[in-house]
Amino acid sequence: MTRKLYILNGSNLNMLGAREPHIYGSTTLKDIEQNCLALAEALKFDCVFRQTNSESELIDWIQEAFVQDAALIINPAGFSFGRISVLDAVKLLRRPVVELHITNIHKRSEEYRHSTISVAATAVICGAGANGYLLAIRAIEDLWGNQT
C-alpha cells in the first residue's frame, strides 16, 4: 500500500524568504519543499507539495487528498481565519491532518490567534519555523501508524 501525503500551503507562502523575514525567516517555500520531499521519500510517502493564493483551489486540493485517501499537512496561512469552506473540506479527510504555522500564532496579534481549521486537525504545530514542516511529516508518520 502506498501512503499518500499532501502538503498544502495557503496564501502568500510563495513569498517566504522575501515576506517579513523578521517574522517568517529567510527560508523559501522551494527550500521547504525540497526538504519535505526528501524526508517524505525516506519515510516512504508518495508526497504532493503545493501552494495557492486561491481559496477555491485549496479546497479542490483538499478534496483531492480525500479521494486519494491521503494524510494532510496544511499551512492554511490567511485561510486559517474564518474560512468555514476550508474547514468543511478538511473535515472530509479520514487520515491524519496536521495544521502547521511557521510562527506561534498564539503570540501574535488577535487576528492571527484563532484558526478555524484547528478543530478538524489531528494535531497542530506552530512556532517551529520552517522546521515545523519536517516535524509535521514525522507526526504524520507516527499518527498514521497509530490509526486504526
With 0.85 as the threshold, say if the pTM is over it. Answer: yes
With H, G, I as helix, E, B as strand and everything else as coil, classify residue 113: coil
The span from the CA of 61 to the CA of 63, in Å, is 5
Alpha-carbon distances, residue 85 vs 13, 62, 88, 91 (angstroms): 20, 11, 5, 10
Say which of 22, 24, 112, 133 is annotated catalytic: 24
CATH of the domain at 41: 3.40.50.9100
pLDDT in tens, 81-104: 776 899 999 999 999 999 999 988
35 known member of a binding site: no
Structural domains in the chain (count): 1
The reported pLDDT for the residue numbered 78 is 82
**Rounded to 5°, angle at Cα 30 from 123 and 108:** 45
Q: Is 60 annotated as a binding residue?
A: no
The reply to whether 101 belongs to the active site is: yes
The answer to whether 75 is annotated as binding is yes
* Residue 14 annotated as binding site: no
Q: How far apart are CA 94 and CA 112, in angstroms?
A: 27
C-alpha span between 68 and 2 (Å, rounded):
10
Express each pLDDT in 44-84 by its tens digit.
999 999 999 999 999 999 999 999 999 999 999 888 877 68
C-alpha cell at 111: 487576528
Active-site annotation holds for 24: yes
Of 6, 22, 101, 133, catalytic: 101
Query: Residue 107: which domain range?
Result: 3-146
90-139 pLDDT, tens per residue?
A: 999 999 999 999 988 877 666 555 778 989 999 999 999 999 999 999 99
